[in-house]
Amino acid sequence: MERIRKLALTFDGAPNPPATLNVLAKLDEHGVKGTFFMEGHRIEKEPDTAREVKRRGHEIGNHSYSHPMLDQIPLEEARVEIEKTDALLREVVGVETKLVRPPAGALNHELAAMLICMGYEIALWSPMVPIYDWAGPDAAAICRRILSNVGDENTVLVFHDRVEFVPDVLDTIIPVLRDKGFTFVTMSQMDRKGVIR
Catalytic residues: 12, 160
Contacts of 135 (CB under 8 A, 6+ apart): none
Angle, helices 19-30/166-179, rounded to nearest 10 degrees: 20
Whether cis (ω within 30° of 0) applies to the bond prior to 167 is no
If DSSP codes are grouped into helix, strand and coil, which group holds residue 8? strand
Q: Are 35 and 10 in contact (CB under 8 A)?
A: yes
The gap from C-alpha 188 to its chain's centroid, in whole angstroms, comes to: 11
Name beta bridge partners: 174: none
**How many alpha carbons lie under 13 Å from residue 97 in its C-beta half-sphere?**
33
Q: What are phi and psi of 25, to 5 degrees?
A: -65, -40
How far apart (Å, rounded) are the C-alpha atoms in residues 88 and 46? 12
